[in-house]
Amino acid sequence: MTGSSDTSPLAPLVDAIGTTLLDVVCGDLTSARPVAGITIHDPHDGAARHDRAVVLGVGVVGPVDTRELVRLALAAGASAVVLRDDTALTDDLRARAAEADLVLLRISPGVPWNQLAVSLSTALERETARRPRWSAPGRVDRERSLSDLANALATTLDAPVTVEDLNSRVLGYSDNQTRGDSSRHETILGRGVPARYTEMLRRHGVFERLYATDEPVSVDLTMLPDLDVPRIAIRIARGQYVVGSIWVATATPVAEVDVSVLRAAAVRAGELIDSGTQDQDRRRRSVAALVGDDETEAARSARELDLDGDPVQLLVVELVRPVGGGPELSSRDIDKYADVLHLQLAGVSSRAIAAAVGSQVVGVLPVDAVDAGPRRALAAAERFARTPNAGAPVHVVVVSAGRGAAGVRTAWADAAKAHAVLARNPSTATSTAVLRYEDAYFDILLQDVAGSFTGGGPAISTPVSRLLAHDDEHHTDFAQSLVVYLREFGSVHDAARALHVHANTLRYRLRRLSDLCGIDLADHDARFKAMLELRIRGLLG
């Protein structure tokens, strides 16, 4: 049956709403009358028009009300009737409806009538206007962005992830699906959950529980015995309307999963499904401009990101190159790190944003409480560092920034100094590390002082420089003996053991180097100055 220009077939409307929200109780969607409108049944309004309408049986309960609604729908030539409770439908009513091509539908428990009404009206408007819901380029962008989100969540939770609509069709999925079971492979290949599984999920009330709460829901193997891996799911909502769900194939119990990250992923998925990627892309470009060279653009970006009010924590991630070089990370690889960090920070604040800036990843975390800000930012950084980020080590520096663009730009410069400290430290140079700027402050001061030794000015003769010059000229190792002695807190026996010499030999060396360079090792002030200069020169780690 073909509808006129102001009507739509029933089948695409039900398909757009989602088979997990509506069940067909009786009738054939393809042979139903074309739909011209959506109406709500009111038993007190005798003038209500149900001709070629989907009639919502709001408040209809019991056999009397159900029978009366179906009778009115049949007489008016309605396309379909939606009931909350279909238990009052008799075989006679079902037969009469089927004969008249009236489709009887049931709304899933927990789904509000207003959501169904708005969703049906929106779908009808789109169908009658002959407009696809998403244009082809927008749909591609959306799927790519949802898959990026799935990858970020999969990396964080170390498990395969799919993002699905209300028909259990796959909108995006993570790359690590080989770690799933055969059902997951079948879902990805078919771009939708097989019908036999969705039917079992309905039978166990999974969708009912899932759509009724913002909390994650567990699906264990007793519900789906054919699966090898249990599932955790969380609904995706926009306002009061459910628009899809996220599914994680994992044996980890909900109690041990980072629920804040799951919630943040669900919020982000709702934004992508609803409005695409333009807003997020614009905000990420603002992060790059915020730490760029153009102060005017930085100020504009700070306003765009609403950073002129609350204090900000800046997280700057340096991706550590493996020993021996290795392949350069592509911009796509760096973007994946940004997606993961964004997901971690969004679990702390919905206003947080992370973006790739050159070869680094920058996270901006606005915080309401000044005292709690550094602690929450450090916790987020440590959680990100523990995430299996494709096996590559990372250096994360956390800096408290002042308000506005000027504060962030100062923090950006401070982060670069802290990264230099991490790179110079042998224990962290090639491993994952998290560092607060405050904790690196003394080392940063030492780096600034070290510049005076290598700044190209006239050489200044110090006790340590005289000792190093003597070692170079005479091929001795007095400086090494001094370093070990100071490192062992002035213990001759411990230092001699570390140097593999007799204690008397070391005592002789210490007396000799004191005579050579003028260091009085009995004077604690002289020892401190020697230690400081050795540290600045990188000889005393």
CB 22 within 8 A of CB 106: yes
Burial level of 20, CB count in 10 A (0-12/13-18/19+)? buried
Residue 193 binned pLDDT confidence (cut-offs 50, 70, 90): confident
Q: What is the mean pLDDT of residues 513-531?
A: 86
Task: Write the burial class of residue 428 (CB in 10 Å: 0-12 exposed, 13-18 middle, 19+ buried).
Answer: middle
pLDDT, position 247: 94
Question: Do 57 and 105 meet the contact criterion of CB atoms below 8 Å apart?
Answer: no
Predicted local confidence at residue 2, as pLDDT: 34
Q: Are 400 and 414 in contact (CB under 8 A)?
A: no
* 148-158 tens-digit pLDDT: 899 889 888 88
Best-predicted range by mean pLDDT (232-236, 285-289, 381-385, 406-410): 232-236
Whether pLDDT at 456 is above 60: no
Look at residue 60 in the predicted model and tell me its pLDDT: 86
- List CB contacts of 500: < 8 A, sequence separation 6 or more: none
Backbone angles phi, psi at 199, to 5 degrees: -65, -40
On the question of pLDDT at 278 being above 60, the answer is no
Q: Is the pLDDT of residue 277 over 70?
A: no
**Confidence (pLDDT) at 141:** 65
What tens digit of pLDDT does each residue of 74-116 get? 988 899 999 988 888 888 889 999 889 999 999 888 777 767 7
On the question of pLDDT at 233 being above 90, the answer is: yes
Asked if residue 41 has pLDDT above 70, the reply is yes
Q: Is the pLDDT of residue 292 over 70?
A: yes
CB 110 within 8 A of CB 85: no
The percentage of the chain sitting over the pLDDT mark of 70, rounded to a whole number, equals: 84
SS3 (DSSP) at 53: strand
Return the structure tokens found at 470. 């003597």
Average pLDDT over residues 53-66: 86
List b or e across 63-95, with b for residues whose CB sees 16 or more CB atoms inside 10 angstroms. eebbbebbebbbebebbbbbbbebebbeeebbe
At 458-467, the pLDDT tens digits run 567 788 888 8
Give the mean model confidence (pLDDT) for residues 220-233.
84
Q: What is the pLDDT of residue 303?
A: 84
| pLDDT tier, 134 (very low <50, low <70, confident <90, very high otherwise) | very low
Does the structure show a pLDDT above 80 at 412?
A: yes
* SS3 call for 336: helix
Q: Model-level pTM?
A: 0.55
DSSP conformational letter for 169:
B
- Confidence class for position 240, pLDDT limits 50, 70, 90: low
Strands 217-219 and 353-357: unpaired
DSSP H stretches of helix in 475-523: 478-487, 492-499, 503-517
The strand pair at 353-357 and 312-319 is best described as: unpaired
In the predicted model, what is the mean pLDDT of the chain? 80
Express each pLDDT in 467-483 by its tens digit: 888 888 889 888 898 99
Q: Using CA atoms, how far apart are residues 367 and 431, in angstroms rounded to an integer? A: 29
pLDDT over 70 at 46, yes or no? no
Write down the pLDDT at residue 245.
93
pLDDT above 90 for 234: yes
pLDDT digits (tens, 9 = 90+) for 352-386: 888 888 888 999 888 766 566 778 888 888 888 88
pLDDT of residue 103: 92
Q: Is the dihedral of CA 325, 328, 333, 334 positive or negative?
A: positive
In angstroms, the CA 205 to CA 213 distance is: 13
pLDDT of res. 322: 63
- Out of 60-69, 296-305, 341-350, pick the least confident: 341-350
Between the ranges 180-194, 220-234, 312-326, 437-451, where is the mean pLDDT highest?
Answer: 220-234
Question: Cα–Cα distance between 17 and 230 in angstroms, integer?
Answer: 27
Distance CA 317, CA 418 (A): 11
Give the span between the Cα atoms of 165 and 187, in whole angstroms.
13
User: Which of 164-178, 348-362, 486-500 is the most confident on average?
Assistant: 486-500
